Amino acid sequence: MSDLLDRLRDRGWRLTSQRRVVAEVLDGDHVHLTADEVHARAAERLPEISRATVYNTLGELVTLGEILEVATDGRAKRYDPNAHRPHQHLVCFACGTIRDVHPTGDPLAALPAAERFGFTITAAEVTYRGLCADCVRRSG
């Protein structure tokens, strides 16, 4: 993840210990943490870090395109460090687990011009929903 820190420094990001631990917490490609989870993990290394700083830093990383904001339910947003490879999400109804998935084709192509109502469309997000194997087993 030092390449993330390098990229940020190259863009003139002032590197503080708080920003460093937030970036480190988001290291790895298969986590989808809430802001509070990021805060809790960051606080293990830097106990005095504040919630506001975590929110600010996450917001900046989203603006810079280094992480994605994912709102799969009405609850807390989740932050996805896998921003450089296009993907969609698969969410378990029961336990809320999120997996990155890679459908074939471009979902945008499925929307005919007549269904675009003059919009300039730039993104198509797909959320697949179901029960994960563990929750199927558990529920019978």
DSSP 9: H
Question: CA 30 to CA 79: how far, in whole Å?
Answer: 10
Residue with token string 């809430």? 34
CB of 10 to a copy of itself, least distance (A): 27
Residue 101: which of DNA, a copy of itself, none does it interact with, CB under 5 to 8 A by kind?
Answer: a copy of itself
CA nearest to 33, candidates 76, 66, 83, 94: 76
Q: Could you say which of a copy of itself, DNA, none residue 56 binds, taking C-beta under 5 to 8 angstroms by partner kind?
A: DNA
In the complex, least distance from residue 17 CB atom to DNA, rounded to whole angstroms: 6
Q: Which of 47, 48, 102, 113 binds a copy of itself (CB under 8 A)?
A: 102
Segment interacting with a copy of itself (CB under 8 A) among 2-10, 15-23, 53-61, 104-112: 104-112
> Cα separation of 13 and 67, whole Å?
15
Say how far apart CA 102 and CA 29 lie, in whole Å.
14
Residues 57, 4 contacting (CB under 8 angstroms): no
**Two structure tokens written together for 74:** 């009405």
Q: How far apart are the first and last CA of the chain?
A: 41
Binding flag, residue 52, a copy of itself (CB under 8 A)? no
Q: Does 128 bind a copy of itself (CB under 8 A)?
A: yes
Closer residue to DNA (CB): 79 or 103: 79
| Contact residue for a copy of itself among 62, 104, 113, 138 (CB under 8 A) | 104
Site residues (vs a copy of itself, CB under 8 A): 69, 71-74, 77, 90, 92-93, 99, 101-105, 107-108, 110-112, 115-133, 136
